[in-house]
Chains A and B, each alone.
Chain A
Amino acid sequence: MSEFTLNPISQPSASFSRSNSRSKFTTTRLKKITQVGIKSIFSHGLRSLLTVLGIVIGVAAVIAMLAVSEGASFEAQQQFRDLGATNILLKSVKPAEVEENSNSGFGPPQAIVYGLTQADITTIRDTIPGVSNVIASRIVKKNVWNLGISMNTDVVGTAVDYPSSRNYNLRAGRFFSETELRDHANVVVLSDEVANVLFPIDNPIAKSIKIDSDYYNVLGIMEAEGFSNLGQNQAGSSNSAPSRIFIPFSASKSRFGETTTRQTAGGMESETVELHEAIIQVDNQEMVIEVGEIIDQILQRRHKDEDYSIEVPLALLRQAEASALRDQIVAGAIAGISLLVGGIGIMNIMLASVTERTREIGIRRALGAKRKDIIAQFLIEAVILSGVGGLIGVVLGISIPFIISTFWGMTTIVTPIAPILAFSISAMIGVIFGIYPSMRAADMDPVEALRHE
């Protein structure tokens, strides 16, 4: 207080330098300017809200889209991990031309012969380097019975390595052994779903189920899978059901025969398929895509018709990753445009605010505000506007993925980087689009500004 009453004439330089040193930017000043800024924004509540809508939408869009695409890519990776990164999947597919032929004729239906054969598998196993194992399976649709309960399911005749090749685990019991495979044993492993349907109360292990006229001893139950839908429809109707049971390959061949008959809308239809699917395991993940191409070439040479499909999960994973990246770029562009529009909105309203408050600027300048004080005031106001918009956007952007997950069951992942990034960008937009209006405010002539009505 003694400084305050300094004699301004006898010690002018002392009093002048005091006010110079004190007018530096302090946190108190910043606090005061911020308070004034918040006051002026809230005095035009609706206008401010509409102004920041662009920023809100932009920020929310960035976060939500990133969360959805992150979730999708996580889900895809999960699926491919289930299929196995070192696996190549082969499936028999009924060729299109054969289908036409069989439908056009009268008389007893002829058995259509198509698909993968044991010879194909032997060739692949013996000639291609890097192939460590091939697990071939036959899939036959059958009614399966436990006393009075029955269900229609895929009976997969396969090898002992099947669960490990697909990363499947057993919930209870065990998978069948080499001996049982060699002996054409009547043993079965149930999927979780089939076990639940056929044995709603009691433990199925060591019980038996009936397929056609034979009884099979239940050895084990598979764990419920996060079942992959990927590529299933390409392989025909027999593969679309997630419920399966597993019996030794040898047993499937000797009990069901090579030709299967099924009822279709047009009549009876018989087909002879030696193998329905095969999983080819490759030593090394780097070689998978290359081996896949070689197998495709070999099979093309060996098969007249396109009666097989080849699926390399790793290649599909790469594709999925590429498409996820593309999604993210598109999302980024949309969000970028939205933020740009939001920024322009803020600039527009700040320019209006500067014009509206010309007189206030004049008053402040007359009372000792420097240009930089005026710039700071309007810049902080712009940053508060965009910051509040960004904050609302972050809240929305986090809740939208949550709503999507809850109501559509889609996996969404909000990584912490997304809200931080989106919020920083919105604050930056406040600075960038606030600079010009603030400069205009600061460059006003105080005399003119005071005269403004």
Chain B
Amino acid sequence: MTVIETNSDHGSSVNPRDVFAGELVASLQEIKKTYYMGALSVEVLHGITLEFYAGDYISIMGPSGCGKSTLMNILGCLDQPTQGKYFLGDEDTSKMEDDDLSTIRGARLGFIFQSYNLIQQLDVLENIEMPLFYQGYTEAESHEIAMGLAARVGLEDRVDHKPFELSGGQQQRVAIARALAVDPLIILADEPTGNLDSKSGAEILTLFDELHDQGKTLILVTHSDELAEHSKREIKLKDGRVESDERIHT
């Protein structure tokens, strides 16, 4: 079993999340997204308005083709909405230049993908350090943070291993450590257990529960009810609209 430290943040004595838990971290206002394929245009999102609060654990559900991935890409600042506004923190990202989007992705968001998306030539530590590198942390700083996070996900004795030397569950834990590196506003997870067996999947979900307990804001995109059960707020999408948005646990 994974040993997970319940220690709050990377070396700081005060948990910063306690200060603003419950505050608004992101808001979507009338988000529309249209894809153009030659003369053809397809509107995938038909005006989505949502608000996310600090410390919340949200799941976004829906059948395939409902616009889940598109919404995920917009939330992750990987894609821009055609219409509407997306505030991350208090900054409107919908009109940002490419460089500013890169910066905000690197500084404010943590990504966890279904297929882990670790860089194969780099070892565990270097993978965790990568977001810090693009934020301009010094080597000493990023080494310290990455070592702390590797320990936190229970991989402190594997830091010099390459991703292909690890099991799927271990790789996903590296990805989680990487997502936590810059202490982001929101952690976005896209089907994080999709490639894992049930035991490893359960471990990852336990890890998510602990992150939630520590005040992290988590958005989970999935089509699995079992996964969504872990979240506190369940948003269901259908045909590019919000079908339901309810708090399932308190």
| Interface residues in chain A, defined as those with a beta carbon under 8 Å from any beta carbon in chain B | 1-2, 4-10, 12, 15-16, 19-24, 26, 28-29, 32, 36, 39-40, 43, 359-360, 362-373, 446-447, 450
Contacts and interface: CB of A to CB of B under 8 A. Distances in A.
B78 A12 contact: no
Contacts of B10: 1, 4-5
B20 A369 contact: no
20 contacts: A1-B10, A1-B11, A1-B12, A7-B19, A9-B20, A9-B23, A9-B185, A12-B89, A12-B91, A29-B133, A32-B133, A36-B122, A365-B102, A366-B117, A367-B178, A368-B102, A368-B131, A370-B98, A370-B103, A370-B134
B103 A16 contact: yes
A16 B91 contact: yes
Contact of A43 (B103, B121, B138, B185): B121
A363 B105 contact: no
Given A5-B10, A372-B99, 5 more contacts: A23-B135, A367-B178, A368-B131, A368-B135, A368-B182
Given A5-B9, A16-B107, A366-B78, A360 B119 contact: yes
A367 B16 contact: no
B136 A23 contact: yes
A450 B78 contact: yes
B183 A5 contact: yes
Nearest to B145: A4
Contacts of B208: none
A28 B78 contact: no
B183 A22 contact: no
Interface string B182-208: 110100000000000000000000000
Contacts of B130: 364, 367
B67 interface: no
Name which of B98, B138, B141 has the most chain A CB atoms within 10 A of its CB.
B98
Nearest 9 CB-CB pairings of A with B: A368-B106, A22-B136, A368-B134, A370-B102, A5-B12, A367-B131, A23-B136, A12-B89, A19-B107
A446 B222 CA distance: 21
Contacts, number: 122
Contacts of A39: 121-122
A298 B113 CA distance: 96
A39 B12 CA distance: 34
Contacts of B105: 365-368
B91 A366 contact: no
B135 A359 contact: no
A371 B98 contact: yes
B7 interface: no
Contacts of B133: 29, 32
Contact of A447 (B54, B78, B117): B78
- The range of chain B's interface size is 35 or more
Contacts of A364: 119, 130, 134
Contact of B108 (A8, A40, A359, A370): A8
B111 interface: yes
A23 B103 contact: yes
Interface string B107-137: 1100101000111011000000011011111
Given A9-B23, A22-B136, A359-B117, A366 B103 contact: no
A29 B136 CA distance: 8
B25 interface: yes
B34 to A, nearest CB: 15
A12 B90 contact: yes
A447 B79 contact: yes
B89 A8 contact: yes
Interface string B168-183: 0000000000100011
Contacts of B98: 370-371
Contact of A368 (B19, B79, B107): B107
B20 A7 contact: yes
Contacts of B118: 363
A40 B121 contact: yes
Contacts of A24: 136
A377 to B, nearest CB: 11
A177 B20 CA distance: 113
Interface in B143-165: 145
Nearest to B14: A5
Contacts of B54: 9
Contact of A19 (B73, B122, B136): B136
A24 to B, nearest CB: 7
Contacts of A1: 10-12, 141
A7 to B, nearest CB: 6
A363 B121 contact: no
B121 A36 contact: yes
A362 B113 CA distance: 12
A16 B108 CA distance: 9
A38 B131 CA distance: 20
A361 to B, nearest CB: 10
Contacts of B20: 7, 9-10
